Amino acid sequence: MSEEKREDAGITFSELSSGYEFPVASYVLDAALVSRYLEVVESEGDGFVPPLAIAAYAMKAMMDVISLPSGAIHASQELEFFKPVAVGSEVKCRSRVVRKVSRSQMKMMVLEMDVLGEDGDTVQLGKATVILPP
């Protein structure tokens, strides 16, 4: 199966290599954004951004850069949270490909992200494993 590259997406799996660094993504976790997240997960806010919301937006920033074929599976996620982030804060996400495996029918990659708060300190670290269909 060949990889199709959507016009609205960027780099494909075959174009990635271990060590590839995604462009740094900056975004403001404003009240409207946090409210939408809280509504979807049916939760109430406390003035801080839910840590999983930060992770979701960091993953979205990576997925805006790469084009995965349909059938790709987000197989695992590891997250570490270090500091709370107040609603309205701006964060920066640095991401990279830690490992890429392409053997026979198996294609897999491990992505790593480091989310920095406004003070430049790490507020969250994470790794995600993505498996692509044969």
Q: What is the pTM of this model?
A: 0.82
Per DSSP, helices labelled H in the chain are: 31-40, 51-63
Would you state the torsion angle of the CA atoms of residues 64, 22, 58, 27, taken in this order, to the nearest 10 degrees? -80
Domains along the chain? 11-132 (3.10.129.10)
Tell me the average pLDDT across 117-134.
94
pLDDT digits (tens, 9 = 90+) for 9-22: 588 888 999 999 99
pLDDT digits (tens, 9 = 90+) for 29-57: 999 999 999 999 988 889 899 999 999 88
> Is 4 a residue whose pLDDT tops 60?
no
